[in-house]
Amino acid sequence: MEKIIVKGGNKLQGEVDISIAKNSVLPIIVATILNPRKITIKKVPLLEDVLVLVNLLRELECSVEFSDITGDLIIDTSNLKEIEPSNDLIKRMRASFLIVGPMLARFGRCKISMPGGCNIGSRPVDLHLKGFKKLGVDIESGHGYINTKTEGLKGGRVYLDFPSVGATENLMMAAVCAEGVTIIENAAEEPEIWDLARFLNSMGAKVEGAGYGRITITGVKELKETESFTPIYDRIEAGTFIVAAAITKSKITINGVNEEHLMPCIEKLTEVGVKFKIDGEKMLVDGTEDRFPVDIKTLPYPGFPTDMQPQMMALLSLTNGVSIITETVFENRFMHVGELVRMGANIKIDGRIAIVEGVKQLTGCEVKATDLRAGAAMILAGLVANGETIISEIHHIDRGYTRIEDKFNSLGANVHRIKI
């Protein structure tokens, strides 16, 4: 088992390079199932979640080569077999449920185990299934499995009760080669949706309106050869390092930002007192000024991202005054509150609302990463805590950040991984 030890007190300086977005790469890897050809996805970060999908594709007899030097992921799904993916791979990562749309497009069938919930919520897939039914899919479920089959995917109109990222992605992929036109109303608008559409269209699909509430997909007979594809930068990793500069009252440069994708974070952190200078993909972050408490409500994009909520809570725990954080996307995304309170934070929870009263100092102690972004928040709190913060369950962190300790140490932090 491994732990991360953070010694608090160092200021940060210098530059950090942001990786390609986990939440863009994962659906794009799955989308290669739609196109029985060799495709290269570039600059893919070596994340646990990426490795889960690589193993899943290999289990389905696709060929996958990965160079962890260049980050080139070369996938060839020509030999894809209609094999039921193993439970443990599906259970390990919810995003593996995204294979249903592409498998239906390739074989007209897909039997898969229900993805489990996780620490942040039950994470049902009812919106995915409701949408598939509108595209001519028959669905049976029972004994922990979902059985989907279709005589042929037909375009249809789908209204999503909630702009679910995963449901939008699954339905987009199912629709690209369906007969006729599919319209997804109240679709997710996250940048990663736009990026998946960009990838699908690079293979000859006809997806319009991605990134806005209504997406129109005109089915095509088949997809074509595409050159290599480079997904967008990870706006949540970038946001995590912006908070690192703010919490340590430092100035750093972040390479690999998209100002539009980061707009919700930039707006909110500007209210906190952080100063930004952006030049193309380079962002200078100045967190040295006084900080102010702010109220945050997480919402689907372009609202404030739920994936930045734990990191902001760490920052606001040390910001003089009272901040109110409302988590509207997941029903249980306050697991990190108990860990921050162990470090001396003053946070009270009332349902989906956390009331954060800033304290002068946090103290380092043993804490755990309760989910991916909560783990990042523990590192951020440890950067300024008095003494050492020892973080366990760090496999959560490795799912979404590549060697996070190296990136923090390159900025002058004192973060080490130990095997125990």
Which positions make up the binding site for UDP-N-acetyl-alpha-D-glucosamine? Answer: 94, 123-127, 307, 329
Using CA atoms, how far apart are residues 178 and 176, in angstroms rounded to an integer?
6
DSSP state of 216: E
Using CA atoms, how far apart are residues 390 and 64, in angstroms rounded to an integer?
36
Nearer to ligand EPZ, 161 or 222 (CB): 161
Nearer to ligand EPZ, 59 or 331 (CB): 331
Applying CB under 6 A, the residues found at the interface with ligand EPZ are 22-23, 26, 94-95, 121, 123-128, 162, 164-167, 188, 306-307, 329-330, 372-373, 400
Give the other-Cβ count within 10 Å of 359's Cβ.
17
Using CA atoms, how far apart are residues 96 and 418, in angstroms rounded to an integer?
30
Q: How far is the CB of 397 from ligand EPZ (least distance, A)?
A: 11
For residue 149, what are the contacts with CB-CB under 8 A and spacing of at least 6? 104, 108, 109, 110, 137, 138
Q: Could you list the active site residues? A: 118
Q: How far is the CB of 231 from ligand EPZ (least distance, A)?
A: 12
Q: How far is the CB of 414 from ligand EPZ (least distance, A)?
A: 25
Q: Cis before residue 302, ω within 30 degrees of 0?
A: yes
Structural contact between residues 249 and 287, judged by C-beta atoms closer than 8 angstroms:
yes
Angle at 176 between CA 116 and CA 233, to 5 degrees: 65
Q: How far is the CB of 147 from ligand EPZ (least distance, A)?
A: 17
Nearer to ligand EPZ, 136 or 400 (CB): 400
Annotated binding site: 22-23, 94, 123-127, 307, 329
Pairing of strands 181-185, 206-208: unpaired
